Chain A
């Protein structure tokens, strides 16, 4: 039924009885293996652009505090900006329920064994929202610093969240992801006095991997840095209008 992805139209087996027997023919292909995802991501991107929607793809390790960051942000800004949140997890609707409790529309995508969201899931996921009445679509990807780096969802940019309990060398260990991010949020700053985490070393590693990335350090608990993040969001939304 879906005209973009043709996902309900699996009739390939129906017509397959050619008898040509030209042994050992070579067929040149040259097709990108992510072509299908990229095509669907382009469809998503065009759809978001039509509504002037800012779309962020939040990526991180599990437990970096993405959902708490979203909850805090939504409680602070949902009187000035219209948000919706797509939640990606292998199992449970826990995160979507937490988001819904803030009064913002949320939809949970369960990937099952899947380690990342793809453009197909997102294309169908946003059918649950009234895109014409939104300013910001936040996509919380599956907690995983590897696979989500390879899959374009049609977002404006990836935002990587790194919590200081993870250690300062995460950018060096997972460079693909930190290179793909336009903004890196260093989270849980309130825990700094209790940890051996060296902020300057972490900033330096990030600079090595991605010298262009904007970095915002914050704590949802203490509120430190939150206004900088909110202002960044406001600026990105303003660019879309």
Chain B
């Protein structure tokens, strides 16, 4: 359950950023979670209410934007959608797909009052 720590980071960064901008309440926070990041969006959502209680994010909406995994074959160069269990190129079967996208774990934006 490292999602608990990840969710605490969301709350910490959002609070800090809101304060820096003179915000008194965060109404929504948008995070980007890549399909290859090893973080389960459902688990983050599950932790969010508990982690935001008593902070500027109390009652805020959590919006999760999923980013699909994208890989490139080291042999034939084909780019393809991948998940954590894609090991071989869908075309030529080569192993060791390079990861181009999907490891993101970012707080994208906040709505503040």
Contacts and interface: CB of A to CB of B under 8 A. Distances in A.
Interface of A: 12, 16, 18-36, 114-116, 118, 146-147, 149-151, 172, 175-176, 207-212
B109 A33 contact: no
A34 B113 contact: no
B95 interface: yes
A24 B113 contact: yes
Nearest to B19: A16
Given A29-B13, A33-B6, A33-B13, A150 B38 contact: yes
A175 B87 contact: yes
Contacts, number: 98
Contact of B105 (A18, A21, A33, A209): A33
Interface in B9-50: 9-10, 12-19, 21-24, 27, 31, 37-39
B92 interface: no
Contact of A34 (B9, B23, B31, B109): B9
Given A175-B84, A212-B96, A30 B21 contact: no
A211 B73 CA distance: 13
A29 B5 contact: no
Nearest to A149: B38
Nearest to A19: B24
A209 B106 contact: no
A47 to B, nearest CB: 23
Given A23-B113, A175-B87, A29 B17 contact: yes
B113 A29 contact: no
Given A24-B113, A31-B107, A12 B9 contact: no
Nearest to B44: A33
Given A12-B19, A24-B27, A209-B87, 6 more contacts: A12-B15, A16-B19, A31-B17, A146-B38, A147-B2, A149-B38
Contacts of B10: 33
A78 B16 CA distance: 47
B12 to A, nearest CB: 8
A211 B108 contact: no
A32 B106 contact: yes
B74 to A, nearest CB: 9
Given A20-B22, A176-B38, A115 B108 contact: no
Contacts of A172: 85
21 contacts: A16-B19, A18-B24, A25-B21, A25-B112, A25-B113, A27-B21, A27-B109, A29-B110, A30-B106, A30-B107, A31-B107, A33-B106, A33-B107, A34-B6, A35-B13, A116-B2, A118-B5, A150-B2, A150-B39, A207-B95, A210-B96
